[in-house]
Structure formats: C-alpha cells, structure tokens
Structure 1
Amino acid sequence: MAARIPRKTASRSATQPSGNGKLRRKKGTETSANIQTIGGYLIQRLQDYGIRDLFGIPGDFVLQFYGLLEESPIRVIGTTREDCAGYAADGYARVNGMGAVCVTYCVGGLSLCNSIAGAYAEKSPVVVISGAPGMEERRSDPLLHHKVRDFNTQREVFEKITVATASLDDPLTAFREIDRCLEAAARYKRPVYLELPRDRVHSQPMYPYTPRPEKYESNPQALAAAIEEAVTRLEAAEKPVLVAGVEVHRFGLRKPLLQFAEKHDLPICATLLGKSVVSEKHPLYVGVYEGAMGRETVRRFVEESDCVILAGTFMSDINLGIFTAHLDPAKCIYVTSEQLRIGYHHFHDVRLNEFVQGLGKAKLKVVKRPLPQQKQTFEAFKPKPDAPVTTHRLFARINELLDENMVVVADVGDSLFGASDLTIYRHTEFISPAYYTSMGFAIPAALGVQVANQALRPIVLVGDGAFQMTCLELSTVLRHNFNPIVIVLNNKGYTTERFLQEGPFNDILNWNYHRLPDLLGGGWGFEVHTENELDQALNASLSNQEAFSLLNVHLEMTDISPALKRLAQRMSKKI
C-alpha cells in the first residue's frame, strides 16, 4: 500500500495548547505565604534546581498539591499512565538536568517503579513526589484505600530504587528533608523519593528555616596523587585513547573533557549509553566502542591502546558487547562518580569533576595518534522504487534525515543497536535505555525531551513490541502539538528474543499502526513497504510541523542489523 496522504490535524478544544506547536509557559502566582508551607517550599526548591515542568497523573491523595502546582510557574503535563510519566520525566532530566513526576499513593507510585528503576540504573535524576494519606486519618481509619501492607510500604519499595527518600510528615524537619533529597539527586544523578501526606501540604514549620548546603570536595592529597599518576601514564603512552561514557553528560563535563582532548589531539570514542556525549562530527571522534558488537576498526583501535581513559563509563554487559571487550585493567584509567582506578591503584575521595578539571590543567605531552581509516557505514540512499525496505536501508535513510535540530530517541532492540551507527550531529542528541533496556521507553521519553527543549525534533525509533506498550502516550504528544517522527520497525514480534530462543511466545498481534492517528483524531500515518514509500513518507513527515508523524515500516522477521546479530549470538549462549 502506498504511503498515506497527510491530512489536517483534528481540531483541539479551547483548553488545549494550539497554534504553533509550542507549549505555553504559565505565569507564576506562587505567593510568599505558600512558599512557607511544605508544599510551597517543595515547589520553590524544584524551580531552584531548574525544573520548569512536571509529569504525572493526579489522585485524591495528591490533589491538594496539584492545586498548588496549578498556581505556580511549574507546568504540569498529564500523561496516560504513571509509568509513562516516569519515562517522560527521565527523558526530560536527560536534556534539562533534572526532572520530576507527581502521582498518588501506591496505585500511582508503584506503577512508577520500573521507569524509576531505569532512571536509577542509568543515572538520570528524577524527583518522585507521591501523595499519601493524611497523618490524622491514618490513626482514625487505618483501612484506607490504596494501602498495601502498611503505610510505609511504598516508601520502603522506593528505598531500593532511589538514592534518597523522605516522608514529609513532620513540619519541623520537612524543609530540611526536601533539601537533603534534592541535593542527593543533584550530587549522585539518581532519582529521589518524597512522600507528602495530604494533610501536610499546607502545614508550616514553627521556626524559620535556613538551608545549609553541603560541600563535597576531593581529598586534595588523593586528587594530586591521582592526577600525577594519570599524567605519567599518558606521557608514556604511544597509543592513548579516551572512551567517554554517559556520566560525562550527566555531570556536565563534556566541555572540559573535550577541551582536554582537543588540547592534546586525543582520539575520542563513546560507549553505547554515552553515544553523542561528543558530537560524532568532531574530527577527533572515532566511533562507538562496544567490544565485538561494534565496528571492528573501533574495537581494534581501543583494545590496542596502551592507555585507555574510561571517563564516566558504565562497565555493563551491553556497553562491553556482552563482555566481548578486551581491556587490560593495567592499561586503563577508570574514573567515574563512584570510583577512580588507575591500573591496579585505587584512589578514594576523588570527585569525577575535579579529576577531569585537574587533568585538563596539568602540563603534559601526549603522543599524537593517527585515527583509523573507516569506511562509510551507510551508502548514499537513492530509493529503489519497488524494493522492499530492509533494516540496513532504513537506517541509511534515517542517517541522511538527521541534522543539528534533531534528537534520536531509541527504544530497545534493533531500534537501539541498528541506530548505534547513526551519525549524531550535536552532543547529547541520542537518548536510549542502553543499560537498563526497558521496552516502551522511547515514546514517553521523547515527550519529555520535547517538553524540555522544544527546539529539538525527536526521531523516535521503536519496535512493534515496544510500541504496543506505551504508544497511547502519543495522545499527550498530540494534545500539546508536539511533532516527533515515530518510526515503527514492524517485524511482527519480539525479534531480539527470536534470535535468542524461537517460540510462539515471541509473536504479537500485527496492528495497523499507521491508523493510530485516526483513533486519536490527529497526526499523520503512513504504511511503508518499499523504499520509495519510505522516502515519500519521511519527506512528508519533515514537512509536517504541526503534529506527530507515524511510519509503520514493514520488515522481514529475520532482517536484523549486524550489531544485533552479534549481540544475539553472544547472548544465546547464556540462555
């Protein structure tokens, strides 16, 4: 079937944003009296940390706080499901620096757990705010709705997937607890949990409160010793290389690390989770290092190095190509927010940012290493009119589509692994759950990305299985006139799992994905079988600036990218 002809987006109600596709910012009416309440202080501190938008779904235990939010400058973006609100807040945090989500007690909070667990695993600072039963009603009526075992159950669950939790049940300590948790989110780049009983939203402390922010600094002797040893190793190296991980972005270290690399002509690679921490158009950029799962030229270049700086990297199975990476610890400088190891020497109390900045100021001479000659991954795309679309040709066409104003948001499977060879123009414009690998991430995360930066247009890559999990978040996208281009890799089921173990459990019902705009009442849908239809659909999608575009791209069930094929071969041995 030919690509569907774009049609006008359905009309919106008067209460919804309309016109130019931009989300309108509210004018704040937060009063000083409100700020002195627990709820008001929390809203003020969220703004102090740069949070301008919040995602969630209201419920009776959190309605009073939602009322305060409505009066504040913070915009509330209502989603279709709580887990989608979590993914959206995660995507927002990856662009903005910190995100927030607000839900009701247990039925809302416990629905958030998977998306917040992913944010914890991948170091994305999301503030979880949950309403809770009032303290007085707990004493008088213990059999309240939404309760699981006892009133502490939800908080205890979140203790396992956040870096700090607090119940704001005591006006004497609530302000201090808010500050403690927000400082932890900023310091560790991980989620935190705040539980607000509904009869404490408007409570005020009896005494004035003065914030006392803590300072976290390196041990100066340990820092100096670490920099000295790193300099010695770099100066002795003949084949140095820098492998940048996701923490370079999370901790705002891209600029000093890039300046250090440019100063010494140091070649740069990235991990899959850290893809795009440096622009892939940069002359020092080599490629994504992921062991034997990635390009052979990149693998050899990194593994032949006699000094590998692993800066802010996660040593996870996916980042290391299912542990096909062969990195000699004796030749590595491994520095993250949690540890610093140079060879077999461990340095304690050394902060990642201070080590990177100190290394940049150090005087040293580094051998200039020539970059490897690499073949073009994708050939120029000239559509063959009746040729069926293949995975390789799909990504070749997407690669030509990308520019500086686009951000790629990739879900799990070939949406991620096939996208590892795409060329990302600017830094931090590739977003994926490449460590936690939770299906259903991409569409709600793209919502969060575009709320955080409306100048970026998301290209959303998602498999049909993942799409079925969270696709209705396109309803929220449509409501706010956002315009992502959503490309569904339709290979009729869970293709990654098929290559691990075949079975009918990998099959799903094949939807008419391109008809979803008809259900939602807006957007553009295209069904794509051939290269010509793909080219026409993408050209039409680029022209459509008013709403989302959805491409249902039919692929053969066994057609996968080389990277996914290598991954499946390794993982199948572990099943």
Structure 2
Amino acid sequence: MQNTYTIGTLLLDRLYKLGLHHIFGIPGDYVLTLFKLIEESPIRHIGTTREDCAGFAADAYARIHGIGGACVTYCVGGLNMVNAVACAYAERSPVVLISGSPGLNERVNNPFLHHMVRDFSTQRDVFEKVTVASVVLDDPHTAEREIDRALKALMQFKRPIYLEIPRDLVMTPVQVASTSPPKVTACQSDPAALKEAVAEVRGILSGSERPIILAGAEIHRFGLQDQLTELVEHMHVPIATTLLGKSVIREDHPLNIGVYGGLVGREEILEFVENADCLLTLGTLLTDVEDAKAHATLLATGRTVHATADSIAIKHHKYEDVRFEDFIRALVASPLPSFPARALPPRDSVRFDPPGPEAAVTLRNVFGYLDGLLNDKTVVIAAVGESLFAAADLRVRQ
C-alpha cells in the first residue's frame, strides 16, 4: 500500500493484508484519530449499538474469515468488551481488539483523566488474562516489532490479542523493516518427536477394530478441514463432531455420524462412540457438554489420542514439542491402517411435517422448516440454550 507509515497506518495496513476488511466498534474521544484513519483506509467500519456487540460480531467474523477486529475507546468501551474477548479466547477465535487510551503527554499533567480505572495500565492488565498478546504501542521505535509479535501470536494460537494506542501517538511516524505482515513458521515441531507420535498412533490403531474420530472446532480454526476429510477417507473410520465442531466435515459425508455430546447427542450416536475401542479426539476440548465417557474409559486402557492446539496426548503421556497442525498433516501422510465398513447409526435428519392450522408449534416443526431453507450459502447463528441444542440436528450443506 504505502511506504511511509505512522503507528496507526502501519497497524491498519498489517490487518488489511491479513484479511481484515471490516472492523466493528464504536468511536470515542480516545480513539477518534484512529477512526479517522480507518475511514481513509480500505477497511470498512461497521458500527454497533454496544461495545460487547462489536466484540461478538468480530468473533463471528473471525470464525468465518480467519481474523476479526473491533476498535473501541478506553475503559468505558474496552472493559465492556471483556466478555466477548473471553469467549473468543475460550473457543479459539482470532480477534484483534484495538483500544485508544489517554495520550502520554496528558498523563504527566493530569493523572486522573476521565474513563480511567485505578491507573493507566488497568485495562491492559485485565485483557492480559484473556488474550495471547497484550501490547501498548507507546514507542515508535518498537511499534513494528510489537505489532508483528502480537499478530504472530494471533495466527499461531488462534486466540485474541489486545493492542492499545495512546491517542497522541497514532500519527507518530515509524520506520518499518518490512511492508509485509508477519508469517508463522510452517513447521516448528521436533521431527523426531513428531515421527514417534505418529508411530505410536499407528501402533494403537493396528490393534483396534472399532476406532472412531471425534473432531472439534480447532480443525476449522487451523484450516484443516480438507486434511481431516482425507484422513477419514483413507482410514475409512466413522467420525462424529462436537457441537462446537459441527460442520468441520461435510454433514452428508457417508462416514459422518453426527454430533456427539452428552447434552445434545442422539442416544444411538452416544452409544456408538462409547462402544469404540480406540478414540481419536482431534481439535476438541472435552468439556461437560461433550461428557465423553468413552474417553475416560479408553484412557484408562491406553486407547486414546487427544490432540489439541495446547497439547498432543497419546495413551498416558504428552508430546510437548509437536504442534497440532503438523500432527494432523503427518497423520494424513502416514500409512495408517484402513478399516472394513461397519453399520453406522441411522441418519435422523430433521423431519418437517406441516402442522394443521390449529396444531401447536413445536421445536421439531420449527427446525424442520428451517432445515428445508438451508443451502450451501447459509450461515447459521444459534443463541445459547434451546436454539443451540435444537440446531445440532440442522444439516450444514457444505
């Protein structure tokens, strides 16, 4: 884009090149200069009624596009974002939160500026607990390095970052070493550990007759959907997904048995998974919603593989130096055994029987009707509660 930068334009340029073409938020006095730069940039600002709405919108955007962003003012705006950012952290959604803050010069003469809570670092201290990088861009000499460090963490861990710019530094010129955004190294796993991990998986599978894969949202976060499908088809192994991981593999795939979860799964799916003699959980955090009884049972006998972005655990031990993405790709490339076909739970697509004019409205009829409206362009957003649990039976077409 341009060759001369300020702290503000450098940040926006990096974000645009990483795929952030829309940013959500509400202007406020500590961030007005940055909003002016957003107006002049290719990034489109989408206004919201509240800051937490901006945070949840940025989260949804990130889940679809791989990066999301929100821009708000200091404390009165930023602290209203904590719940949304914490949700993005818990569910691995790469959201960039940008906040303005009081200028460095005005802090010297007036230590009690409006919107401040306790001291000038309070907001950053709060977000440090729910982000993978928390940065205040208060030095033009280190701004590029700090921006790139934070963005690299965003891309590597698929979790939120916090960037704060004092309002008197937004237009401060910076010298840049590169006009390109940072890149995450393609492979950082220890080759010997990765080879050993895959060999151990092969050994477990070779003694199995009823293996099953349970896939979660991290498959989508790290862009591994194609690799997952290839792994399933190569091994000819049935696959279930968690509720959060719904649609990481096509829901009309012949080996996809549906959503597994103690609170939302159909009984026949729960029974099928819990009857497995080897369980590969890939990219899923096993919470009380999943209630994976099979995992606990098989773990005791050393028949589990639990791979997430936080750790790779096989049987009773962990491989600390193996990255999740590398592990999935290595499994695909490995000569793992293929298994004979076996009877799968029957598909129970949502049936829609048009009710009579006097009939009561039921969840089955409502969601059966909605299921008939879905196509490969539809994005479904379900609120927590009955809507989310009932939506587990909707068929995602892609």
Does TM, normalized by the shorter one, top 0.5? yes
Counting only pairs closer than 5 Å after superposition, residues 169-568 of structure 1 correspond to structure 2 as: 169-205=138-174, 207-210=175-178, 215=185, 217-291=188-262, 293-320=264-291, 327-329=297-299, 330-374=302-346, 376-426=348-398
Normalising by structure 2, report the TM-score: 0.95
Structure 1 position 297, deviation (Å): 1.2
SS state at 1:403 partner: coil
Which of 18, 34, 40 pairs up with 1:71?
Answer: 40
Check 1:141–1:310 CA distance in 2 against 1; reply closer, same or farther (3 A cut): same
Q: Distance in 1 between matches of 2:313 and 2:230?
A: 22
Do the aligned partners of 1:290 and 1:325 also contact (CA within 8 Å) in 2? no
Which of 94, 103, 116 pairs up with 2:72?
Answer: 103
Q: Distance in 2 between matches of 1:128 and 1:228?
A: 41
Check 1:31–1:373 CA distance in 2 against 1; reply closer, same or farther (3 A cut): closer
Check 1:332–1:220 CA distance in 2 against 1; reply closer, same or farther (3 A cut): same
Structure 1 position 174, deviation (Å): 1.0
Structure 1 position 376, deviation (Å): 2.8
Check 1:102–1:371 CA distance in 2 against 1; reply closer, same or farther (3 A cut): farther
Structure 1 position 383, deviation (Å): 2.7
Q: Distance in 2 between matches of 1:326 and 1:76?
A: 47
Residue segments in structure 2 that go unaligned for 5+ positions in a row = none
Which of 145, 165, 170 pairs up with 2:134?
Answer: 165
Structure 1 position 348, deviation (Å): 1.3
Task: Considering Cα pairs closer than 8 Å and 6+ residues apart, tell me whether 1 or 2 has the greater RCO.
Answer: 1
SS state at 1:68 partner: helix
Check 1:327–1:245 CA distance in 2 against 1; reply closer, same or farther (3 A cut): farther
Check 1:325–1:359 CA distance in 2 against 1; reply closer, same or farther (3 A cut): closer
Do the aligned partners of 2:214 and 2:240 also contact (CA within 8 Å) in 1? yes
Structure 1 position 219, deviation (Å): 0.6
Superposition RMSD in Å: 1.7
Tell me the residue number matched to 1:567. none
Do the aligned partners of 2:264 and 2:392 also contact (CA within 8 Å) in 1? no
Q: Distance in 1 between matches of 2:315 and 2:295?
A: 17
Tell me the residue number matched to 1:55. 24
Do the aligned partners of 1:281 and 1:425 also contact (CA within 8 Å) in 2? yes
Q: Larger deviation: 362-371 or 173-182?
A: 362-371
Tell me the residue number matched to 1:133. 102
Tell me which amino acid in the other structure corresponds to 2:368: A
Check 1:415–1:327 CA distance in 2 against 1; reply closer, same or farther (3 A cut): farther
Structure 1 position 143, deviation (Å): 1.7
SS state at 1:120 partner: helix
Structure 1 position 400, deviation (Å): 1.9
Check 1:292–1:201 CA distance in 2 against 1; reply closer, same or farther (3 A cut): closer
Do the aligned partners of 1:339 and 1:347 also contact (CA within 8 Å) in 2? yes
Residue segments in structure 1 that go unaligned for 5+ positions in a row = 1-29, 427-575
Q: Distance in 1 between matches of 2:226 and 2:77?
A: 39
Tell me which amino acid in the other structure corresponds to 1:162: T
Q: Distance in 2 between matches of 1:181 and 1:413?
A: 34
Do the aligned partners of 2:263 and 2:289 also contact (CA within 8 Å) in 1? no
Structure 1 position 264, deviation (Å): 2.1
SS state at 2:381 partner: strand
Is 1:143–2:115 an aligned residue pair? Answer: no
SS state at 1:359 partner: helix
Structure 1 position 107, deviation (Å): 0.5
Q: Distance in 2 between matches of 1:46 and 1:120?
A: 19
Structure 1 position 220, deviation (Å): 0.7
Q: Distance in 2 between matches of 1:319 and 1:288?
A: 10
1:174-220 residue CA offsets vs partner (Å, 9 max, x unmatched): 11110011110111010000000011101123x55347756351011
Q: Distance in 2 between matches of 1:385 and 1:327?
A: 50
Tell me the residue number matched to 2:3. 32
SS state at 1:328 partner: helix
Q: Larger deviation: 83-92 or 137-146?
A: 137-146
Structure 1 position 46, deviation (Å): 0.2
SS state at 2:372 partner: helix
Do the aligned partners of 1:267 and 1:369 also contact (CA within 8 Å) in 2? no
Runs of 4+ in 1 over 4 A off after TM superposition: 210-214, 323-327
Do the aligned partners of 1:291 and 1:326 also contact (CA within 8 Å) in 2? no
SS state at 1:238 partner: coil
Q: Distance in 1 between matches of 2:71 and 2:390?
A: 34
Do the aligned partners of 2:243 and 2:261 also contact (CA within 8 Å) in 1? yes
Structure 1 position 366, deviation (Å): 2.2
The count of aligned residue pairs is 393
Do the aligned partners of 2:93 and 2:158 also contact (CA within 8 Å) in 1? yes
Q: Distance in 1 between matches of 2:176 and 2:152?
A: 20
1:387-432 residue CA offsets vs partner (Å, 9 max, x unmatched): 1201222222222222222121111110111111121111xxxxxx
1:534-557 residue CA offsets vs partner (Å, 9 max, x unmatched): xxxxxxxxxxxxxxxxxxxxxxxx
1:49-102 residue CA offsets vs partner (Å, 9 max, x unmatched): 111110000011101011111111000101111000000000000000010000
Tell me which amino acid in the other structure corresponds to 1:392: R
SS state at 1:194 partner: strand
Q: Distance in 2 between matches of 1:326 and 1:352?
A: 21
Tell me which amino acid in the other structure corresponds to 1:273: L
Do the aligned partners of 2:352 and 2:365 also contact (CA within 8 Å) in 1? no
Do the aligned partners of 1:235 and 1:365 also contact (CA within 8 Å) in 2? yes
Structure 1 position 325, deviation (Å): 7.1
Do the aligned partners of 1:264 and 1:368 also contact (CA within 8 Å) in 2? no
